[in-house]
Amino acid sequence: MILRTCVLSAAIAVTLMSTSLPSAAQSAAQRAEQTANPLLGAWSTPDGVPPYDRIRPEHYEPAFDLAIAEARAQSQRIANDKTAPTFENTIEAMERAGRELSRVSSTFFTVASADATPANQAIQKAIAPKLARLSNETMLDQALFQRVDTLYKQRAELGLTPEQNRLLEQTHKRFVRAGAALPADARARVAAINEELANLGVQFGQKLLADQKANDVFLSAAEVEGLPADQLSTAAAAAEAAGKPGQYLFPATRSAAEPFLTAAPNRDAREKIWRAFSFRGDNDNANNTSAEIKRLVELRIERAKLMGADTHADFVLADSMAKTPDAAMELLMGVYQPALVRANEELADIQALAAKDGITDVQPWDWRYYAEQVRSQRFALDEAQVKQYMPLDGIVDAMFETTQKLFGLTAHERTDIPVYADGVRVFEIREADGRKVGLFYADWFARPTKRPGAWMNSIRVPNGLLGDTPIVVNNQNITPPAAGERALISLDEAQTLFHEFGHGLHGMLSTAHYPSLSGTAVSRDFVEFPSQVYEHWITEPTILQAHARNAAGEPMPKEMLESLLKAQTFNQGFSTIQQLSSAILDMRLHQLTELPADFDAGEWEAAQLRELGVPEQIGMRHRLPHFSHIFDGGYSASYYAYTWAEAMDADGFDAFKEAGNVFDPELAAKLRREVYEVGNTRDPAESYKAFRGRMPTAEALLRNRGLK
């Protein structure tokens, strides 16, 4: 997942605060503030990284206010320039504007998601409306839009390079899609909607995190009997730290819940964990997210109509590879139907096994437990034993070796870089000849203040215009090990590790000249391709043979490795239905043209699942009450993008298999050159075809999941 919470240039949507320009007296005060505030002025840190060792929460808001005022002044100078618009004095000037705001924003939002302390949450709540207001003022500024529009209409005569032309077209599109071409009253309403949406997204995210924390489950020794030792020791240490020695604490996170549901023999305990995880945001308390969901959808419907689109989904997908909701739904349903057949076959196997334990009514909290037993019998696999050969550090080494084999890049840990939280590691990524590519911050472990899920974000994007060296961040929620023990992860967590680093490479390797065309600034249904194709290498046998080792340093036994790889398509009916039901409901929700006054997200969700025929024992990967991708993560009407990109990643990896060498140097160089480096300097479909020679179909995806 790509987290897009901060703005990086005026062309992307530099935001402006609606205050007057600073007076001379204010400038003196600002200079004093700049001297005292480590966020402002020159950074003397190694490689100019954020000085997290000196930044305190009280520094952020003043820094935002000063940076916003500066960005506003810069944007107004461009808008009010009396000379005729040129590419240099308008488009390129916008690319240069707002650097201080970009720096403050990326520094703060990296922390806001990864360490959402009460202080950081208060800051986010305070600045969200300021940034939304700022974005509205810039993107709806008629003088600025007229300069962009004039150049857009003259673009054929301007003698622009292909990248400059792409930047001009994308900048113009952003203004139009922001509402700049609307009548004045509609622009004002769009601005108000955008500001309210920004506030609601923050509220949704903060409620979800609070409810997740409130849903911590403490279990007794009897309830956890039979769990693997690593889960027990971690849970015992967490409970002791929480002041409840002798008990076992399981947070309501995926990294804690899924391993428990897979391994716990105690059915009542499984139900407790499942309910805690599944009902985040859906409890009868102050953290219930239903009101935010209803209002978010209402506002998106209203804004789409103002923008001339039939629905929010139509508006969003007009700027995507899919182009229309119908095209996205065609792919989703084409995969959903065979997945449902497979899921019902899997359910029959689970019911037969559960019946031996006297269970005649298989429930959602039973599926993973009995599926693991089916897998164990069918492939002679024990998840707990497999994890003994999957230490986090070993899989990190596997990830870096893959990068070296594919792209010639090496990773070198840096201990001189200040970080924002304990446990964050920093690596310098270098070319084979030693040239620095960028810095990679790795924040892999869960903490109570971290938002759910896994994501990548950029602190600094590479570009030729400003000469910036990139800094990217990966976040995951791996359960921290007990003191003195190794962190052991599942294959699913290992794939997520590779996935997010694929995003990181996409963010670091860009050769775009302009910041707003750099790296991951591409459509949602293409941005997941570079990350998802990278996942394939974690199951490459030579990589696992070299790095999947137990505490004694012994490699994973050949029989276990072979069984693990054979089992890759096991339970794919379940996992596919979980993912696709979330994607389909996201699309259906955002194809609504109105909401009834008594709309209830939970009731609507249940009705949709019944209509789709989703087995109750499976359900959704992300239920609406905690679906942060679409309510607090920029993926509204876009969760289908993971499936769309999977059609590309499965087909794209087939190219390496067809070459007879999954590390084929010529093909790897082509993947880097045509996909990872180009950013948004051309249409994503062109990038994929430049790599593969054609567009993909769903065939490779179905084969990849074992559904064909």
Among 399-403, 451-455, 578-582, which stretch is predicted with the lowest mean pLDDT? 451-455
Nearest to 458 by CA among 396, 520, 514: 520
- Domains in the chain: how many in total? 2
- Residues 73 and 129 grouped into a single domain: yes
Confidence class of residue 299 from pLDDT cuts 50, 70 and 90? very high
- Residues 160 and 44 grouped into a single domain: yes
H-assigned helices in 520-677: 524-535, 541-547, 558-566, 572-589, 601-612, 628-632, 641-659, 665-671
What pTM value is reported for the model? 0.92
- Asked if the model's pLDDT at residue 510 lies above 50, the reply is yes
Confidence class of residue 35 from pLDDT cuts 50, 70 and 90? low
Nearest to 608 by CA among 620, 597, 598: 620
225 is written with which tokens? 């009997």
Domain boundary among 119, 146, 176: 176
Q: Is residue 362 part of a domain?
A: no
pLDDT tens column, 132-148: 999 999 999 999 999 99
Catalytic member of 137, 372, 500, 646? 500
- Residues 48 and 130 grouped into a single domain: yes
Q: What number is the average pLDDT over the span 284-298?
A: 97
Domain boundary among 279, 297, 317: 279
Q: How many CB atoms are closer than 10 A to CB 28?
A: 11
Q: What is the pLDDT of residue 30?
A: 57
Round to whole Å and give the CA distance between 328 and 317.
9
Q: Is residue 358 part of a domain?
A: no
φ/ψ (deg, to 5) at 460 = -150, 135
Considering the chain, what is the average pLDDT of its residues?
94
632 is written with which tokens? 């607090």
302 is catalytic: no
- Asked if the model's pLDDT at residue 93 lies above 90, the reply is yes
- Residues 53 and 126 grouped into a single domain: yes
Structural domain of 235: 217-279
- Residues 102 and 170 grouped into a single domain: yes
Q: Domain with 83 in it: what CATH number?
A: 1.20.1050.40
Q: Is residue 536 part of a domain?
A: no
- Residues 94 and 168 grouped into a single domain: yes
- Residues 136 and 56 grouped into a single domain: yes
648 is written with which tokens? 């590309």
Round to whole Å and give the CA distance between 328 and 231.
39
Q: Is residue 681 part of a domain?
A: no
Round to whole Å and give the CA distance between 628 and 209.
10
Q: What number is the average pLDDT over the span 561-588?
A: 97
Domain boundary among 176, 209, 228: 176
Q: What is the pLDDT of residue 33?
A: 59
Q: What is the pLDDT of residue 488?
A: 96
Q: How many CB atoms are closer than 10 A to CB 233?
A: 17
Q: Is residue 118 part of a domain?
A: yes
- Asked if the model's pLDDT at residue 14 lies above 90, the reply is no
pLDDT tens column, 371-414: 999 999 999 999 899 999 999 999 999 999 999 999 999 999 99
Q: Is residue 255 part of a domain?
A: yes
| Upper half-sphere CA count for residue 447 (Cβ side, 13 Å) | 18
pLDDT tens column, 635-645: 999 999 999 99
Q: What number is the average pLDDT over the span 675-695?
A: 97
Q: Which helix H or strand E contains 100, and what residues bound it?
A: helix 99-114
- Residues 110 and 48 grouped into a single domain: yes
- Residues 45 and 169 grouped into a single domain: yes
- Asked if the model's pLDDT at residue 670 lies above 60, the reply is yes
- Residues 124 and 235 grouped into a single domain: no
Tell me if 8 sits within 8 A of 174, measured CB to CB.
no
Q: What number is the average pLDDT over the span 500-529?
A: 97
Confidence class of residue 530 from pLDDT cuts 50, 70 and 90? very high
Q: What number is the average pLDDT over the span 108-113?
A: 97
Question: What does the angle CA 37 – CA 42 – CA 45 come to, to the nearest 5 degrees?
Answer: 90
Q: Is residue 28 part of a domain?
A: no
- Residues 81 and 170 grouped into a single domain: yes
- Residues 171 and 262 grouped into a single domain: no
Of the chain, the percentage scoring pLDDT greater than 90 comes to 94
Q: Is residue 92 part of a domain?
A: yes
